[in-house]
Amino acid sequence: MSRSAHPAGPRHADVLTEGHYSGPPADLNALDPKVWAQTVERDEHGVLAVGGIDVKRLAEEFGTPAYFLDEEDFRARARAWRTAFGDDADVFYAGKAFLSRAVVRWLHEEGLNLDVCSGGELATALSAGMPAERIAFHGNNKSPGEIRRAVEAGVGRIVLDSFQEIVRVAHIAQELGTRQRVQIRITVGVEAHTHEFIATAHEDQKFGIPLAGGQAAEAVRRALKLDGLELIGIHSHIGSQIFDMSGFEVAAHRVVGLLKDIRDEHGVELPEIDLGGGLGIAYTSDDDPREPYEIAKSLTEIVTRECEAARLATPRISVEPGRAVVGPTAFTLYEVGTVKQLDGLRTYVSVDGGMSDNIRTALYDAEYSVSLVSRGSDAEPMLCRVVGKHCESGDIVVKDAYLPGDLAPGDLLAVPATGAYCRSMASNYNHVLRPPVVAVRDGEARVIVRRETEEDLLRLDVG
Ligand SMILES: *Cc1c(COP(=O)(O)O)cnc(C)c1O
């Protein structure tokens, strides 16, 4: 990015991140339904509301920063995934995207299953009444204690991620006098078109057992021999924030290839195939996600075709969307604290949160959009960078944003599409208190995860 001396002014495009210059939007007050939760709208004064409650009232009652989650939208998206895949497939919501007891209850009511990847997520799921048989347990290094709790609870499947874990789970299941249903996670060698840190199916990485070199086939051989295990299928998760279905196509082709080899070698047809999650959502208007029914149709066709070619009965498919269910359903509400114009360089707008409530910009260079939501404005667009309050210059919420030129301290800004991987990755950096998650529906707002307090922080500090 260049730092050439330009006249101070709101619209110097030269400071935009290279390749992302698209100019100011025609109307800063417009809300793109792609990035905002379903019930979000503006009133005649330009004040944004969700679930029938306006953000000024929400800010007053719950404070800022805070995440506001559109419960109606969450349920609608969960239901859309469920309906799209029908009764011949299973949808597992990836709990790591955002998990709370209310969410677990909604998922249960809407007929979804749940992925967990730690003892904490398992405890949350069980405590909110998710039936254990509808829980899948993932992770590349589950502890023996976590495995024991999962087997004791009776989870529907454990996804095995290494040779050591095959033996570990088998022993624990045997000790407990049971046979654990398991899948083996393999890496199929696909590079999903996504950020390096969120692409997980190429082989040089910590997840899964490589198909290449026969390691996955060897894992199957070992799992089939162990009395403590019931091998029900093969699992593949190729990455996150994926829009292009071709990665899934290659993955399905290779997984089905392995199922065929297993049939030929062992005479067994494994009944299930899990294609993971990773379906992309719109963070900005430039993103064009697919609808669940299109994804379901496409994945089902791919698997059916591959299985017919391999003369295999089509296995039961499962998918694991996280972001695509919860991501678009929430926005983060911030209050503007300062607006700092650096002549010829850039305008910095500081809000009362930052990398502690949204690490994705710093971690993945993620792009977000942002809007002034406590009022409408006809002021000229001002190009700025929205930053947090943390002691870190990488503490960026939105790298390049157009906001009205009359933006002032006390205004409320909202960043949409923060339902996934924001609260769940939140930290206490600078001893900042993690924001609450407030579910809004039909004119009622309800805290589902409360704001942290200084007491909470000090309770852990026992020195
Ligand atoms: C993270 C993850 C998911 C969900 O990914 P999204 O991008 O949120 O859809 C699904 N399955 C596994 C195994 C994962 O690790």
Digit-coded pLDDT (tens) for 284-320: 999 999 999 999 999 999 999 999 999 999 999 999 9
Task: Assess whether the C-beta atom of 34 lies below 6 angstroms from ligand 1.
Answer: no
Q: Name which of 442, 353, 370, 259 is nearest 63 in CA terms.
A: 353
Q: Is 237 in the pocket of ligand 1 (CB under 6 A)?
A: yes
Domain ranges of the chain: 41-70+328-460, 138-321
User: Is 97 near ligand 1, meaning CB less than 6 Å away?
Assistant: yes
Beta carbons of 232 and 182 less than 8 angstroms apart: yes
Cβ atoms of residues 201 and 209 within 8 Å: no
What is the best residue among 117, 157, 209, 237 to mutate for testing ligand 1's pocket, by most ligand atoms within 8 Å of CB?
A: 237
Q: What is the pLDDT of residue 93?
A: 98
Q: Give yes or no for a contact between 360 and 425, defined as CB atoms under 8 angstroms apart.
A: yes
Catalytic residue among 117, 307, 384, 391: 391
Tell me if 240 CB under 6 Å of ligand 1: yes
Among 447, 80, 452, CA closest to 296: 80
Crossing angle of helices 292-309 and 246-266, in 10° steps, is 40
Which atom in ligand 1 lies closest to the alpha carbon of residue 280?
7
Report the C-alpha dihedral over residues 127, 441, 279, 281, rounded to 10 degrees.
-140
Identical fold, 41-70+328-460 and 138-321: no
Do 420 and 327 meet the contact criterion of CB atoms below 8 Å apart? yes
CA of 50: how far to CAs of 27, 34, 66, 71, in Å? Answer: 20, 15, 13, 10
Q: Is 94 in the pocket of ligand 1 (CB under 6 A)?
A: yes
- Give the chain's residues under pLDDT 70: 1-22, 191-201
For ligand 1, whether the C-beta of 96 sits within 6 Å is yes
Q: Is 153 left (phi over 0), alpha (psi -120 to 50) or beta?
A: alpha
CB 280 within 8 A of CB 243: yes
Cα(202)–Cα(362) distance, rounded to whole angstroms?
Answer: 23
CA of 106 to the centre of ligand 1 (A): 19
- Ligand 1 pocket check for 235: Cβ under 6 Å: no
**3-state SS string for the chain:** CCCCCCCCCCCCHHHCCCCCCCCCCCCCCCCCCCCCCCCCEECCCCCEEECCEEHHHHHHHHCCCEEEEEHHHHHHHHHHHHHHHHHHEEEEEEHHHCCCHHHHHHHHHHCCEEEECCHHHHHHHHHCCCCHHHEEECCCCCCHHHHHHHHHHCCCEEEECCHHHHHHHHHHHHHCCCCEEEEEEEECCCCCCCCHHHECCCCCCCCCEECHHHHHHHHHHHHHHCCCEEEEEEECCCECCECCCHHHHHHHHHHHHHHHHHHHHHCCCCCEEECCCCECCCCCCCCCCCCHHHHHHHHHHHHHHHHHHCCCCCCEEEECCCHHHHHHHEEEEEEEEEEEEECCCEEEEEECCCCCCCCHHHHHCCCCCCEECCCCCCCCEEEEEEECCCCCCCCEEEEEEEEECCCCCCCEEEEECCCCCCHHHCCCHHHCCCCCEEEEECCEEEEEECCCCHHHHHHHCCC
Which residues, at least 6 apart from 189, have a Cβ–Cβ distance to it below 8 Å? 201, 202, 203, 210, 211, 212, 254
Q: How far is the CA of 455 from the centre of ligand 1 (A)?
A: 33
Active site residue 391: yes
Superfamily of the domain at 41-70+328-460: Lyase, Ornithine Decarboxylase; Chain A, domain 1 (2.40.37.10)
**How far is the centre of ligand 1, averaged over its atoms, from the C-alpha of 391 (Å)?**
31
- In sequence order, which residues have a C-beta less than 8 Å from that of residue 163 and are 6 or more positions away? 209, 218, 219, 222
We find that the CATH architecture of domain 138-321 is Alpha-Beta Barrel (3.20)
Q: How far is the CA of 92 from the centre of ligand 1 (A)?
A: 10
**d(CA 408, ligand 1 centre) in Å:** 39
- Dump pLDDT digits (tens) for 26-74: 899 999 999 999 999 999 999 999 999 999 999 999 999 999 999 999 9
